[in-house]
Amino acid sequence: MIQLLFLVLVAEAAVAAVLLFKTPLRKLAVLGIDRLKRGRRAPVAVKTVAGVVLALLASTLYSLAEISGRTGESESGGVALSPTDQILFSRHLLEASLMGYSLFLALIIDRLHQYIRELRGLKKNVEAVSKHNKMLEEAKHGRSEETKKYQEEIAALNEDMKKLKLQVQEKTEEVHVAEDKALAIRKQSESLLLEYDRLLEDNQHLREQLRSIDLRLSSS
């Protein structure tokens, strides 16, 4: 389970990194996400997977709460938490962290994809308005009778261009914010990998302690 979650987390981090930088891979990633969202059964499958992950996360958090409750009872009774409970607590905590980061990265990827699509649409609109503006300016010199009408249309189109440019600037700022969040998640995932290695060492140490305790009990 933990290995699978790590694979999912690494894959999501890779997709987020691809979406952050303007490369040919970004186009492929955007096309792949477009097809995933436009499929008939794809949205239902994605929602189902997200629901299963949320259910597993809730179950894991409930298990953590149970172990924490036993910890409080053990401290009040003067009995330390058993090594098995310590292992289970560490494992559930790691699983909950991985699932939480995975869901957050999925949300970041979805936002980045949406911002990229909106930016492309806005840029196409700006280019179309610019071409129309040039055509109107050329026609203005050819037809003196319609000069006033063309000037009004050009003024309106210029206002539309200003609005579209402001929208592009706002979306660009939102993309930068999303990119900063994605980079922060990548750094957190790297620290989480280090924490996973440490937990594996602790797990091995606790298992050795359990074996020694079992040997003592069996010898007595």
More confident residue, 158 or 31: 158
- pLDDT the model gives residue 80: 56
Provide the percentage of residues in the chain whose pLDDT is more than 90.
0
How far, CA to CA in Å, does 218 sit from each of 81, 82, 135, 154? 22, 18, 93, 92
- pLDDT the model gives residue 78: 46
How far, CA to CA in Å, does 202 sit from each of 81, 85, 165? 15, 13, 55
Q: Is the pTM of this model over 0.95?
A: no
How far, CA to CA in Å, does 36 sit from each of 29, 31, 42, 113, 166? 10, 9, 6, 12, 30
Mean pLDDT of the chain: 79
CA dist., res. 85 & res. 64, Å (int): 10
- pLDDT tens, residue by residue, 184-217: 888 887 888 888 788 888 888 888 888 888 787 7
Report residue 63's pLDDT band, with 50, 70 and 90 as the boundaries: confident
Judge whether residue 45 has pLDDT over 80: no
The DSSP code sequence of the chain is -HHHHHHHHHHHHHHHHHHHS-SHHHHHHHHHHHHHHHSSSHHHHHHHHHHHHHHHHHHHHHHHHHHHHHHHHHHHHT-PPPHHHHHHHHHHHHHHHHHHHHHHHHHHHHHHHHHHHHHHHHHHHHHHHHHHHHHHHHHHHH-STTHHHHHHHHHHHHHHHHHHHHHHHHHHHHHHHHHHHHHHHHHHHHHHHHHHHHHHHHHHHHHHHHHHHHHHHHH-
Judge whether residue 168 has pLDDT over 80: yes
pLDDT, average across residues 117-134 = 84
